Amino acid sequence: MQSKMRNMKVAVVGATGMVGNVMLRVLAERNLPITELIPVASAKSEGKEIVYKGKIFYVTTLEKAVAMKPDLALFSAGGGTSLAWAPKFEEVGTTVIDNSSAWRMEPDKKLIVPEINGDVLTKEDKIIANPNCSTIQLVMALAPLHKRYKMKRVVVSTYQSVSGTGVKAVQQLANEEAGVEGEMAYPHKIGRNALPHCDIFLENGYTKEEMKLVKEPKKILRDDSFSLTATAVRIPTDGGHSEAVNVQFENDFDLAEVRQLLSDTPGVVVQDDVTNNLYPMPLYANDKDEVFVGRIRRDESQENTLNLWIVSDNLRKGAATNTIQIAEYLIQHNLL
């Protein structure tokens, strides 16, 4: 991979945020050939110091970053910022990889998990969407199974970390654990609780998070022949999302083959030895890039139906790492 990489100028938009911080760490770990790093945040953060690979960089504004014409801009600053500023970067020739929901379902924008559909990318794609964190781990596990058995219906129930909401939510949980009164990110306490309320409610009674899970997998897998429904729940963990997934296939399956298919999938780790209490947990997925799959078993109530338990670090593979893997794919295939 390194031999195909060229030196480049990279902007990280939202560098002072929770995902932005992880993005900088993953960039350093994966050793992208960055000749110039441009940390970007709101005007109030201008001049703030960011340490990257032991060197100090200073946060700049979006206006100044656009004028610097970076090769690549990694966005993690919210949908409004992406809608307003991604086209401005595009105009100066920058390729944008956006971590918000702003562009995901736009027909002319690609929604990418590199291991699954990186092959759809071209040099003409200047604004590329990173999927929702819960979607990424879901499709990583389902893609090889869909290819082999053809999915008919998927039912997903999520157990999502407070880190998916952001710094304010992480602080709410910390305050509750410490018995401190503080600002509330949620309409209820989150400690010792479970909120069936991720993002805002829509007219159909589902939340935005649930509808992302319904729509995004079909676009990534380039197939709308299967149906999907979701319930998204916030729980008091400070990192890692978990999903209970029930999948009905058109064709029957063999459990040993299912485990082998998943084990052979790059980026997926099977942890499925209940005799030794081995199964995925957010505690052990923390700070890892893989998607962990376990509790693999047949649904005995319905034919051709499988149960899975899927866990991944939502700030890494669910956000920062997938974004940077898209960048790596573009570099490897000379698409920048």
Phi, psi of 330 (to 5 degrees): -60, -40
d(CA 110, CA 105): 8
- For residue 115, CA distances in Å to 78, 139, 220 come to 25, 10, 11
d(CA 91, CA 93): 6
Within this chain, do residues 178 and 108 fall inside the same structural domain, yes or no?
no
pLDDT for 7 equals: 79
pLDDT for 6 equals: 65
d(CA 159, CA 162): 10
Within this chain, do residues 106 and 146 fall inside the same structural domain, yes or no?
no
| Domain CATH number, residue 81 | 3.40.50.720
d(CA 278, CA 255): 17
The per-residue pLDDT of the chain, averaged, comes to: 96
Within this chain, do residues 157 and 274 fall inside the same structural domain, yes or no?
yes
Name residue, tokens 């693999």. 296
Task: Measure CA 88 to chain center.
Answer: 24
Within this chain, do residues 150 and 103 fall inside the same structural domain, yes or no?
no
Each residue of 172-213: pLDDT tens digit? 999 999 999 999 999 999 999 999 999 999 999 999 999 999
Phi, psi of 46 (to 5 degrees): -60, 135
Q: Are strands 72-75 and 95-98 parallel, antiparallel or unpaired?
A: parallel
Percentage of the chain with pLDDT > 90? 97
Work out the pLDDT band at 1, boundaries 50, 70, 90: very low
Section 224-228 average pLDDT: 98
Section 109-118 average pLDDT: 98
How many structural domains comprise the chain? 2
Within this chain, do residues 80 and 139 fall inside the same structural domain, yes or no?
no
- For residue 24, CA distances in Å to 17, 74, 146, 224 come to 11, 10, 34, 35
Within this chain, do residues 153 and 261 fall inside the same structural domain, yes or no?
yes
Each residue of 150-173: pLDDT tens digit? 999 999 999 999 999 999 999 999
Within this chain, do residues 66 and 96 fall inside the same structural domain, yes or no?
yes
Percentage of the chain with pLDDT > 70? 98
Within this chain, do residues 192 and 230 fall inside the same structural domain, yes or no?
yes
Nearest in space to 131 (alpha carbons), one of 109, 107, 104:
104
Within this chain, do residues 292 and 161 fall inside the same structural domain, yes or no?
yes
Class of residue 283 by CB neighbours under 10 A (exposed 0-12, middle 13-18, buried 19+): exposed
The set of catalytic residues is 133, 241
Full domain range(s) for residue 140: 134-314
Section 64-85 average pLDDT: 97
Within this chain, do residues 272 and 326 fall inside the same structural domain, yes or no?
no
pLDDT for 261 equals: 98
Within this chain, do residues 221 and 153 fall inside the same structural domain, yes or no?
yes
2 pLDDT more than 50? no
Within this chain, do residues 299 and 157 fall inside the same structural domain, yes or no?
yes
Each residue of 240-265: pLDDT tens digit? 999 999 999 999 999 999 999 999 99
pTM for this structure? 0.96
Decide: 131 and 98 in contact? Cβ < 8 Å: no
Work out the pLDDT band at 3, boundaries 50, 70, 90: very low
